Amino acid sequence: MTIRQLMFALLLCLYVSGIATAQGTRLLRHPTVSRESVAFEYAGDLWVVSRSGGQARRLTSTPGVEVDPYFSPDGSQIAFTSTVAGNTDVYVTPTMGGDPRRLTYHPGIDRVRGLKNSPGPTATTRFPCGSAIRSISSPIAITR
């Protein structure tokens, strides 16, 4: 390989890497959409932005990792999975922001898998043991 070819390859690599960084972040994961908002996880926290665009707002900021956001049917709350308290559990937070509320206290791994209407909103979680329980203290009942 000649020096000229080597220089061309190096410049091409620099050009391509410059284009990739100019396109912005690619770490936005697991988006969920309501009538008015889009929620997603980025760098281990949950963010929400209007469907029409604009500035994203951070909903969570913990040392743990928040994943799998799901809107409630009316779009007022977001259920998500987090490892804030040393165990993976299901939490819910208002879409407009506020303190997350822990919904599950199972010693195993609890993961939210969606929200549905069945007589009332139900956050569906998946557990290895396959047991079922409903949370009475929450407006969003949890099904295991």
Q: Which of 72, 101, 106, 77 is nearest to 89 (CA)?
A: 106
pLDDT at 9: 62
Domain ranges for the chain: 3-143
pLDDT at 12: 56
In this structure, the chain runs to a length of: 144
pLDDT at 142: 43
pLDDT at 119: 46
State the CATH class of domain 3-143: mainly beta
CA torsion, ordered 111, 116, 117, 121, to nearest 10 deg: 30
Distance CA 69, CA 131 (A): 22
Q: Split the chain (144 residues) into runs of 10 and give each run's mean pLDDT.
A: 66 53 60 92 92 92 89 90 86 91 86 64 44 36 44
pLDDT at 59: 93
The label of the residue with tokens 């299901």 reads: 90
